[in-house]
């Protein structure tokens, strides 16, 4: 039986990174949004993944050359599609704030993304599957309540705003829902990239480190999407100059820091999920995002996003308790699985 406490501790640490990286998006100035996003993208999806892979996976690019081309293209393609969700995330923070964006995006990505690796598992205990389903349903309920609290907060704090402001909020809400669905594709990308990790592991690299090679492939696809979009906006809006204006280093620092936190969450979670065993990708994914959602909302309250929200804040507190209950159910499902001794087939370790 696996010692699950260290695994949960690792995932909890990853959730701290995941729950805080988005705060940097509130400090974009004096950079234009697209300039900030390009710096963040280069750091999070290109420099850090490649640097870590080169450090921990000997001859990583030589090994990738032996990977089947269809697997490489499929994995990078899912990363490209997930990249659309990443762009929408940044836009949603601008329109509806950190708390509501995290609530919808993380919750939907957790619930939808959890079922992808679950469908690839075989010979699982029906009891364990039942707890996973219950945990995800509770998670979805917590997300819905969180979103409702955000809508009520917006109505209370902006009762006299213009119709265009209301339209902007609803557009942000719609984008957040789409972003949450697209964000779940990261799990699909890593499921597709597991033959790459297996190829690297066969050369004597540990399974956790071998996953870094899979990360490189998927995140290159994500980088292409995000960087291309940012460059197009920079050229169209003529905002390239904001990268070098006086005081630009302030925006650069937040962009680089956010990128480092995002990839730290991703890499740390990969180790925690592997330590959890067969249900690592099924339980670890929503556990990571659920805990990150709780933390991000607490930080948003501290930052004053919910000041004067009244009853809406009480709804948000109830939503956080519901999310915490969901995390407990998911943790228990993994404990149930560890007591089930069926043969292991088709193990897939994913990261968020």
Domain-wise residue ranges, the chain: 4-338
Alpha-carbon span 236 to 214, nearest angstrom: 34
344: DSSP letter: P
Given the structure tokens 């809406």, which residue do they identify? Answer: 312
Kindly report the pTM of this predicted structure. Answer: 0.75
Alpha-carbon span 268 to 21, nearest angstrom: 14
Closest CA to 117 of 68, 175, 190, 173: 190
229: DSSP letter: H
Residues 29-67: b if buried by 16+ CB within 10 A, e if exposed: eebbbbbbbbbbbbbbbbbbbbebbeebbeebeebbeeb
SS3 label, residue 309? coil
Q: pLDDT by residue for the chain (352 residues), tens digit each?
A: 445 678 778 888 888 887 778 778 778 889 998 999 999 999 999 999 999 999 999 889 989 988 899 999 999 999 999 888 877 877 787 777 766 776 777 777 777 766 665 665 555 566 667 777 787 788 778 877 877 777 777 677 666 555 555 566 777 778 888 888 888 787 778 777 878 888 888 888 887 788 888 889 999 999 999 999 999 999 999 999 999 888 889 889 999 999 999 898 888 887 777 777 666 666 777 777 777 777 777 777 777 777 777 788 888 888 878 877 877 776 676 566 555 544 333 333 333 3
Q: Do 222 and 79 meet the contact criterion of CB atoms below 8 Å apart? A: yes
Q: Do 193 and 214 meet the contact criterion of CB atoms below 8 Å apart? A: yes
Alpha-carbon span 32 to 167, nearest angstrom: 23
Please state, as a whole number, how many other Cβ atoms lie within 10 Å of the Cβ of residue 141: 17
Given the structure tokens 């699950």, which residue do they identify? Answer: 4
Cα angle value 220/225/228 (rounded, 5°): 110
Give the pLDDT score at 349. 33
Closest CA to 27 of 12, 39, 15, 14: 39
Q: Do 82 and 157 meet the contact criterion of CB atoms below 8 Å apart? A: no
Cα angle value 55/189/255 (rounded, 5°): 60
Q: Where are the alpha helices (DSSP H) in 120-162?
A: 126-157
Closest CA to 79 of 44, 122, 119: 44
């Amino acid at each position: 039986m696996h010692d699950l406490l260290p695994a949960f501790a690792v995932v909890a640490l990853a959730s701290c990174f995941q729950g805080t990286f988005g705060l940097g998006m509130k400090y974009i100035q004096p950079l234009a949004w697209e300039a900030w996003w390009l710096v963040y993208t280069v750091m999070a999806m290109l420099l850090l993944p490649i640097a870590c892979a080169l450090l921990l996976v000997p001859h990583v690019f030589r090994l990738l050359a032996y990977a089947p081309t269809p697997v490489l293209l499929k994995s990078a393609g899912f990363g490209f599609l997930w990249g659309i969700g990443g762009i929408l995330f940044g836009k949603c923070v601008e329109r509806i704030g950190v708390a509501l964006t995290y609530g919808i995006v993380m919750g939907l990505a957790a619930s939808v993304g959890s079922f992808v690796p679950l469908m690839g598992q075989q010979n699982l205990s029906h009891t364990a599957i039942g707890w996973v389903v219950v945990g995800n349903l509770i998670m979805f309920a917590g997300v819905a309540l969180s979103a409702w609290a955000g809508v009520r907060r917006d109505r209370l704090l902006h009762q006299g705003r213009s119709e265009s402001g209301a339209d902007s909020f609803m557009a942000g809400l719609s984008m957040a829902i789409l972003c949450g669905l697209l964000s779940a594709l990261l799990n699909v990308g890593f499921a597709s990239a597991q033959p790459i990790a297996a190829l690297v592991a066969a050369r004597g690299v540990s399974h956790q480190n071998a996953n870094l090679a899979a990360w490189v492939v998927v995140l290159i696809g994500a980088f292409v999407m995000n960087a291309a979009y940012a460059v197009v906006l920079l050229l169209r809006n003529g905002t390239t100059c904001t990268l070098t204006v006086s005081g630009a280093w302030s925006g650069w620092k937040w962009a680089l820091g956010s990128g480092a936190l995002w990839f730290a969450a991703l890499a740390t979670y990969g180790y925690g999920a592997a330590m959890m065993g067969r249900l690592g990708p099924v339980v670890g994914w929503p556990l990571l995002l659920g805990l990150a959602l709780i933390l991000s909302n607490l930080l948003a309250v501290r930052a004053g996003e919910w000041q004067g929200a009244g009853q809406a804040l009480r709804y948000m507190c109830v939503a956080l308790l519901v999310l915490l209950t969901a995390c407990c159910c998911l943790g228990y499902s993994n404990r149930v699985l560890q007591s089930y001794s069926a043969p292991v087939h088709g193990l897939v370790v994913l990261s968020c």
